[in-house]
Amino acid sequence: MHLRPSISRSTFIRSVSLVIALLSHFLIGCVAQSWKTYPSSINGYLGMSFPEAEANHPNDGSDTWFVTARLTGLNTGKEYQIVTIFDRNAIAVNPVVLNFYEVSIFDCLNGEYVTYTDYELPVLNLLSPKLQVSSDHLDLLYRSSAGNATWVTAKDALGDLRPFVYDLYLPGSDSFGSGPFSVDITADMQNRPVAWGADDLRGVMTCFGETDTYSYFQTGPEINGTLTFRGVTEPVQGTLGHLDRQWFPTTPLIYAPTGRQRSHEWRQMNLNNSVDLSIWRQFDRTNNNTVVDTTGTTAYQGDSSTWTAGLPSDLTIEYIRYKKYPRSTSIGTLVPPPSPNMYLATEHIVRSASLAMELKGTYVQETPAINLVIEYFEGPIMWQGTYNGQNVNGIGIFETTYALYRDWELTEVLYNSLAHLQNASFSSKSKSEVLQIVAGLRQYVSSNPLQDNRIAAGLYITGSIIPALQTMSAGSDKSNMLTIAADLQYSLTLILQF
């Protein structure tokens, strides 16, 4: 006679649960994409090993973690765009130079948005650091005044990391006063990570003057979670988005002490032909706004990536419209501005001959200003045009710090703005006549201080340009052009350049 050992109901349930967890762990590993594993790398490229590439880089001075996604509210049907940045900056003499956490949510139907930024400043937070990071896998914690923000690699039932699956909790308190908001999501990336510059650059770029900056991105997230926007909480889902990473040898502040000596424009695109694009364009503001090296386009499609160098003859931007940075008690910069009148591009056209690309970008929110160290527009944008000669449309993000405020820069802001107005905006003087008059200012203004004749420029603005603008048809176009002209005249009084 064999006696049957007795086991408790709770022990039996725990045993079955463990077996199920182990079986699930095994099956998930069998059916997952072959690249979706730790450890792994992007083609064996230096610095592109995972999960370390996702984590903090303690031997580098700066790390930036960025993610954006288009989400659909399952209750309201609203389309939202979320954007968040975790940023670490440090040098040897000071463990904290400037860390920050930023999060924004945009209503993509009407352009309304909420935004929040929290800074960790030198010395002030030494005893109680706000940003905590891990150096072996992605595990971010930022103790903000709106709550603890977290971005971590998800774990399975056994506590093992789930490769390229992330849990994010992003709280905020709206700078415009609408109250608390938050994003609580899981993002399961469906596309493999892509090195910036693909096989050509292997993820190494010059970024804000820092050579040997490393960068990669990922697209194709499957997102589920909840979102709270202006007092309404609802479940959300999404499949379009972009995760972006950079880490710098020292810190961008080395080459841009005020943040304005270097500027950038970054365009992120999810097109309806399944092409995802990351387009960087950077400027040396100390050298006639020269476009710097490693400007160009990284494209991802069908599990492969390509690089197209942004040569001046290939990647071009036609600026259609600008908006003035809206300084207020709600929006501003940490570093005081050299001018109260700083213009950033909004509507524009991106062209690349080698990609047979011509895409017009239009912001969902005309002035998507967020609180950061310097002037910063970052918001959802709609793309429409051609790619590879085929008609396409898409969504994405346009991020820019390329704020224009010096006399020779605002001359071009005025000229480009006038050039894209309808003929109906002009009256006794034709559009071409007004443009010719504005172009005449170029003989007096220059990026070279020795060739910048401010007295003559001021007289020309007062005596020729403003009278020409006064002939325009009454309306908002005339008012806007006169405002730019007044700000241009003010720029002649500036002493500080950055």
pLDDT of 242 reads 98
Query: 């937070």: which residue's tokens?
Result: 125
Report whether pLDDT(187) > 70: yes
- Residue 13 to residues 7, 9, 150, 255, 301, Cα–Cα distance (Å): 10, 6, 33, 60, 46
Specify the range with the lowest mean pLDDT, choosing from 251-255, 268-272, 300-304, 331-335: 251-255
Residue 290, beta-bridge partner list: 284
| 209 falls within a domain | yes
396 in the same domain as 435: no
Domain boundary among 400, 430, 458: 400
* 57 and 117 part of one domain: yes
Express each pLDDT in 250-265 by its tens digit.
887 788 889 999 999 9
What's the one-letter identity of residue 453? N
Q: Which range of residues forms the domain containing residue 318?
A: 49-400
C-alpha angle 372-377-335 in degrees, rounded to nearest 5? 30
End-to-end CA gap in the chain: 92
- Using a 10 angstrom Cβ sphere, with 0-12 exposed, 13-18 middle and 19 or more buried, the burial of residue 397 is buried
CB of 412 closer than 8 Å to CB of 420: no
Token pair for residue 241?
Answer: 């988005």
User: pLDDT, tens digit, for every residue of 17-57?
Assistant: 444 444 444 444 444 578 999 999 999 999 999 999 999 99
State the residue for tokens 């905006």: 425
Check which CATH number belongs to the domain holding 128 and give it: 2.40.370.10
Structure tokens at 386: 């051609």
Examine residue 6 and state whether it is found in any structural domain, yes or no. Answer: no
User: Is the pLDDT reported for residue 400 higher than 80?
Assistant: yes
Q: Which helix (H) or strand (E) holds 436?
A: helix 431-439
pLDDT attached to residue 5 = 41
DSSP assignment, residue 463? I
> Which distant-in-sequence residues (6+ apart) come within 8 Å of 25 by Cβ?
156, 157, 158, 160
Contact 121, 98 (CB under 8 A): yes
**400, 424, 447 — which closes off a domain?**
400
Q: What average pLDDT score do residues 328-345 get?
A: 96
User: Does any domain span residue 41?
Assistant: no
223 located within any domain: yes
Is the peptide bond prior to 39 cis by the omega test (within 30 degrees of 0)? yes
Question: In the predicted model, what is the mean pLDDT of the chain?
Answer: 92
Alpha helices in 113-241 (DSSP H): 198-201
Alpha carbon 221 to chain centroid distance? 17
Whole-model pTM? 0.92
Q: Is residue 497 part of a domain?
A: no
State the pLDDT confidence band at 92, using cuts at 50, 70 and 90.
low
pLDDT at 95: 65
**Can you tell me the distance from the alpha carbon of 282 to that of 360, in angstroms, rounded to the nearest whole number?**
19
Kindly calculate the radius of gyration of the chain based on its CA atoms and give it in whole angstroms: 25
**What are the backbone dihedrals phi and psi of residue 254, each rounded to the nearest 5 degrees, phi first?**
-65, -40
**Sign of the alpha-carbon dihedral angle for 414, 419, 422, 428:** positive
Q: Are residues 423 and 395 in the same domain?
A: no
pLDDT of residue 32: 53
Single residue among 383, 400, 417 that ends a domain in this structure: 400
127-181: per-residue pLDDT in tens? Answer: 789 999 999 999 999 999 999 999 999 999 999 999 999 999 999 999 999 999 9
Per-residue model confidence (pLDDT) at position 13: 44
Q: What is the 8-class DSSP label of residue 36?
A: -
Enumerate residues 6+ apart whose C-beta is below 8 A from 451. Answer: none
Q: How confident is the model at residue 294 (pLDDT cuts 50, 70, 90)?
A: confident
Looking at residues 181-192, what average pLDDT do you find?
98
How many domains does the structure of the chain reveal?
A: 2
Residue 496 forms part of a structural domain: no
> b/e per residue, 204-216, with b = 16+ CB within 10 A?
bbbbbbbeebbbb
Residue 2 counted as domain residue: no
Among 10-24, 160-174, 347-361, 372-386, the range scoring the smallest mean pLDDT is 10-24
pLDDT at 319 over 90: yes
Instruction: Give dist(CA 234, CA 93) in Å, integer.
Output: 46
In terms of Cα–Cα distance, which of 402, 36, 392 is closest to 208?
Answer: 402
Of the pLDDT bands very low, low, confident and very high (cuts 50, 70, 90), residue 193 is very high
Q: Are residues 314 and 299 in the same domain?
A: yes
Same domain membership, residue 413 and residue 395: no
Residues 262, 297, single domain; the answer is yes
- Domain membership of residue 17 (yes or no) is no
User: In 275-430, where does DSSP find H-type helix?
Assistant: 407-419
Question: 84-98, 430-444, 481-495 — which is least confidently predicted?
Answer: 84-98
Residue 189 half-sphere exposure, CB side, CA atoms within 13 Å?
Answer: 25
Q: Are 359 and 435 contained in the same domain?
A: no
Comparing CA positions, the residue from 122, 104, 121 lying closest to residue 113 is 104
DSSP H helices, 295-424, are 407-419
Residues 292 and 434 reside in one and the same domain: no
Q: Are residues 246 and 277 in the same domain?
A: yes
Phi, psi of 120 (to 5 degrees): -115, 110
Q: Are residues 396 and 420 in the same domain?
A: no
Domain check: are 179 and 267 in the same one?
Answer: yes
pLDDT number for residue 146: 99
Mutual angle of helices 431-439 and 407-419, in 10-degree steps: 170
Is residue 282 classed exposed, middle or buried when 0-12, 13-18 and 19+ CB atoms within 10 A define those classes? buried
- Same structural domain for residues 341 and 276? yes
